[in-house]
Chain A
């Protein structure tokens, strides 16, 4: 059963440029689902709207954002009130930036305020041990922590929250290899206990190690949702031209760059968002925004995919 579901989510921002309001669509018609016991990785280039997805699910987007679409937590619609009640309790986030720690709050206190049930002090000590944080780190302020330590404090905060879903937004940069492996392992264990993880990352390698499915993100939408087994060889099992190109662009798979760049959110084409860079692009591709469709046990947003 899906613990977290997002259907046709669109997020746009109203911005003022030269005295006129410009609407820029940062997420368009995005669909993604996380089942119990599952890790779904969201992979895409920076600026593809990955972090905004996390904010949209939690209902903490800036006030000039407008949302459209359906989000469900355990089959229940996520209204603003519901989001407010759930965030931090049922849905926790591991933020992307280490600046997410309050500069005037001690590390231990940070973790303790995240605890929603049980003895905060005990849980904090326990989770510090798990993340190899010495006891004296409790008393340290963020500016006294190394990047890796701050990262582990953020991981620890999410782990003690008792949430059923963790949204991990680039949780591992700045960590030593051993800690990365451990952090990913912890997410895996967390999911194996019947919870769900939405892992937002640009690192396909890390995603492949622990995730069950990978959602490929392009210009604010999912172009393909595939099981990790599809990511192999020359990318022949992948469905969408962008997923294939992304896979082949990895150093170990040929290091083939994709020409061109992602369209800007305020200048999105009306048809397929990838058409301008796609070798298979035809007139039909620019005619209409392609729907997400089932294909070979996965989902794809391309009219040519087979």
Chain B
């Protein structure tokens, strides 16, 4: 039943968040990150040991870990994610702002790599063993073993440095007032990181689609369809596509985690002000509230991706729909 399904998923999400928040809190607590130092920053030499202890006491850092956790989790539940120490802004607002930048980047890459990957994978499988298949496979293996940051540098070198078509980095032109920035300029800054993420994502999707379609083509129903005179595109359209669509959708939405991981690297290379770059900054500069906030946010983001994939799978596949009914 749909209601039970949704309830189950909600409970799973809640337990997941609880576990993740607790684990990451413990990890941060036991890491060499010092929130006091992060707060003070470069003025460290001017602050005495006693003053630092006072700050720690003021923040409750001398209390037992469990008490600190429950206090943090409690305010989290009431919607207060704390204040970022490096950006001096409430974490929730900061994440929301950065997410707007990232989501455009990620969605573009996600859509492009999904579509191109699916088409390439299908083409390869339908022509298995032929020249087309070899070329696509070779291309995908190369892509799948290409690190994102390296691809980013390559793209940067070709399109910004040599050709000069796109800016070298940042989300908007430097030295311009916020009101003067046009949509075109924003898109121009978005293009290269999105291109990098798309290119890198294609390999995996294409290889998965190819394998799945090859399995489908080996099945008895395809043999029977061939026996009835179907072949080529008709065969793919009537039987192949239907049977790989559900797993492809699942895979596509499950790739949210890789997308986020890829964005961290791509945004870093292009100095693009998104969530990925913020994560790197928060980690390097010891911004604990922001780091924890980002961990939780990315958990929700990936979980929702999987959930959408799962729901779509149920909608597309009649065997899964039946599960909801009974």
**Are B230 and A103 neighbours in the complex by a CB distance under 8 Å?**
no
Question: A100 on the interface (CB 8 Å rule)?
Answer: yes
Among B227, B228, B243, B317, which residue has its beta carbon within 8 angstroms of that of A113?
A: B228
Q: Select the residue from B129, B221, B317 with max chain A CB neighbours within 10 A.
A: B221
Chain B residues with CB under 8 Å of A161's CB are: 228
B interface residues, tally (CB under 8 Å): 21
Contacts A60-B223, A95-B224, A144-B322 known; A88 to B229 CB distance under 8 Å? Answer: yes
Give bound CA distance, A102 to B220, whole Å.
9
A-B contact count (CB 8 A): 67
Chain A residues with CB under 8 Å of B243's CB are: 102-104
Give bound CA distance, A161 to B228, whole Å.
9
Q: Which 9 A-B pairs have the closest CB atoms?
A: A88-B229, A100-B224, A88-B228, A104-B242, A102-B221, A99-B220, A93-B227, A60-B226, A141-B318
Given contacts A95-B220, A105-B238, A141-B319, 10 further A-B contacts (CB under 8 A): A55-B223, A92-B228, A93-B228, A100-B223, A102-B239, A102-B243, A105-B242, A113-B238, A114-B228, A143-B322
**Are B227 and A58 neighbours in the complex by a CB distance under 8 Å?**
yes
Chain B residues with CB under 8 Å of A87's CB are: 226-229
Chain A residues with CB under 8 Å of B223's CB are: 55, 60, 95, 100
Say how far B43's CB is from chain A's closest CB, in angstroms: 65
Question: A202 on the interface (CB 8 Å rule)?
Answer: no
Which B residue's beta carbon lies closest to that of A60? B226
Question: A133 on the interface (CB 8 Å rule)?
Answer: no
Say how far A305's CB is from chain B's closest CB, in angstroms: 35
Contacts A102-B243, A141-B319 known; A97 to B231 CB distance under 8 Å? Answer: no
A interface residues, tally (CB under 8 Å): 26
Contacts A88-B230, A89-B229 known; A100 to B322 CB distance under 8 Å? Answer: no
Contacts A99-B220, A100-B220, A141-B318 known; A105 to B228 CB distance under 8 Å? Answer: no
Give bound CA distance, A84 to B319, whole Å.
33
Say how far A146's CB is from chain B's closest CB, in angstroms: 15
Question: A101 on the interface (CB 8 Å rule)?
Answer: yes
Which B residue's beta carbon lies closest to that of A158? B228
Which A residue's beta carbon lies closest to that of B231? A84
Chain A residues with CB under 8 Å of B219's CB are: 99
> Digit string of B92-133 for contact with A (CB within 8 Å is 1, else 0)?
000000000000000000000000000000000000010000
Q: Select the residue from A141, A157, A161 with max chain B CB neighbours within 10 A.
A: A141
Say how far A15's CB is from chain B's closest CB, in angstroms: 16
**Are B221 and A84 neighbours in the complex by a CB distance under 8 Å?**
no
Question: B19 on the interface (CB 8 Å rule)?
Answer: no
User: Which of A's residues lie within 8 Å of B, judged by CB?
Assistant: 55, 58, 60, 63, 84, 87-89, 92-93, 95, 97, 99-105, 113-114, 141, 143-144, 157, 161
Chain B residues with CB under 8 Å of A113's CB are: 228, 230, 238
**Are B238 and A93 neighbours in the complex by a CB distance under 8 Å?**
no
Which A residue's beta carbon lies closest to that of B230? A88
Q: Can you list 11 pairs linking A and B with CB atoms under 8 Å apart?
A: A60-B227, A63-B129, A87-B229, A97-B220, A99-B221, A102-B225, A102-B239, A102-B242, A104-B242, A113-B238, A114-B228
Say how far B239's CB is from chain A's closest CB, in angstroms: 5
Give bound CA distance, A295 to B159, whole Å.
82
User: Which of B's residues lie within 8 Å of A, judged by CB?
Assistant: 129, 219-221, 223-231, 238-239, 242-243, 317-319, 322
Say how far A155's CB is from chain B's closest CB, in angstroms: 13
Which B residue's beta carbon lies closest to that of A92? B228
**Are A103 and B228 neighbours in the complex by a CB distance under 8 Å?**
no
**Are A101 and B238 neighbours in the complex by a CB distance under 8 Å?**
no
Chain A residues with CB under 8 Å of B227's CB are: 55, 58, 60, 87-88, 92-93, 95
Chain A residues with CB under 8 Å of B229's CB are: 84, 87-89
Give bound CA distance, A63 to B214, whole Å.
14
Contacts A58-B227, A84-B229 known; A143 to B319 CB distance under 8 Å? Answer: yes
Which B residue's beta carbon lies closest to that of A140? B318
Which A residue's beta carbon lies closest to that of B129? A63
Give bound CA distance, A193 to B224, whole Å.
25
Which A residue's beta carbon lies closest to that of B227? A93
Say how far A51's CB is from chain B's closest CB, in angstroms: 10
Say how far A79's CB is from chain B's closest CB, in angstroms: 15
Say how far A83's CB is from chain B's closest CB, in angstroms: 10
**Are A104 and B224 neighbours in the complex by a CB distance under 8 Å?**
no
Which A residue's beta carbon lies closest to that of B218? A62
Give bound CA distance, A87 to B228, whole Å.
6
**Are B238 and A100 neighbours in the complex by a CB distance under 8 Å?**
no
Chain B residues with CB under 8 Å of A99's CB are: 219-221
**Are A105 and B239 neighbours in the complex by a CB distance under 8 Å?**
yes
Give bound CA distance, A93 to B322, whole Å.
31
Q: Select the residue from A60, A89, A99, A161 with max chain B CB neighbours within 10 A.
A: A60
Contacts A103-B319, A104-B318 known; A93 to B224 CB distance under 8 Å? Answer: yes
Give bound CA distance, A79 to B318, whole Å.
40
Which A residue's beta carbon lies closest to that of B319? A143
Say how far A57's CB is from chain B's closest CB, in angstroms: 10
Give bound CA distance, A157 to B230, whole Å.
14
Give bound CA distance, A55 to B239, whole Å.
20
